[in-house]
Amino acid sequence: MIEEGLSRRASGKRYIKPRDFGFAFGVAVFAAALHTIALALELFRAAESHALTASTVTRVLILIELCLLVTVAGLWARRVAWMWLTSAALIAACAGYAWWYAYSRQVLALLLSQSFYQTHAEAVPTHHFGLIGATWLNLMVFMTSGVLLVWVVKTLRGMPRGCVAKIIFKRGSSSNASR
């Protein structure tokens, strides 16, 4: 893999292997698919509920979904500028989870301060991992987002300074491409 306009020997930098990039793209697609399922489940649960429900959790899930779609698009584009956008989207997704956690803590503290909820604990909403309405899918998406963020930051740190060209994977005839 080389950068347009930069020679591999001159830069002395190690580049991403095509299979690493493909693996990261696959993980991003997997995370986006899992989160789409979690979002659909949340929307169905809210639609079936006959009580008033707050749309805050749904809004956070939609924000995280958009961030994951930007991540998939950024990894698909294979451009350095899109990699920066991907890292910003992953940071926003992790911030969305942090905000969801803070919101859940606030709501649970408010509920548990009421005497009714102290005597009727079954009326308190489920809160796996400290997140109201969370499922194991949300935890998996959060973990894969964190792993992708680490990978993107590591990848961006390994690229030459000022590089804005498209990342190209050379295959075949050149002896430098196989190394």
Domain that residue 69 falls in: 16-168
Residue 176 lies in a domain: no
Number of domains in the chain: 1
Residue 129 lies in a domain: yes
- % of residues, the chain, pLDDT over 90: 26
Residue 21 lies in a domain: yes
Nearest to 61 by CA among 145, 4, 2: 145
Q: What is the mean pLDDT of the chain?
A: 76
Q: Is 39 helix (H, G, I), strand (E, B) or coil?
A: helix
| Per-residue pLDDT tens digits for 34-71 | 999 988 888 887 777 655 566 788 888 899 999 999 99
- Greatest Cα-to-Cα distance within the chain, rounded to the nearest angstrom: 75
Residue 84 lies in a domain: yes
Instruction: Please compute Rg for the chain using Cα positions.
Output: 21
Residue 1 lies in a domain: no
Residue 100 lies in a domain: yes
Residue 3 lies in a domain: no
How far apart are alpha carbons 99 and 60 in whole angstroms? 8
Task: Report how far Cα 68 is from the mean position of its chain's Cα atoms.
Answer: 5
pTM (2 d.p.): 0.71
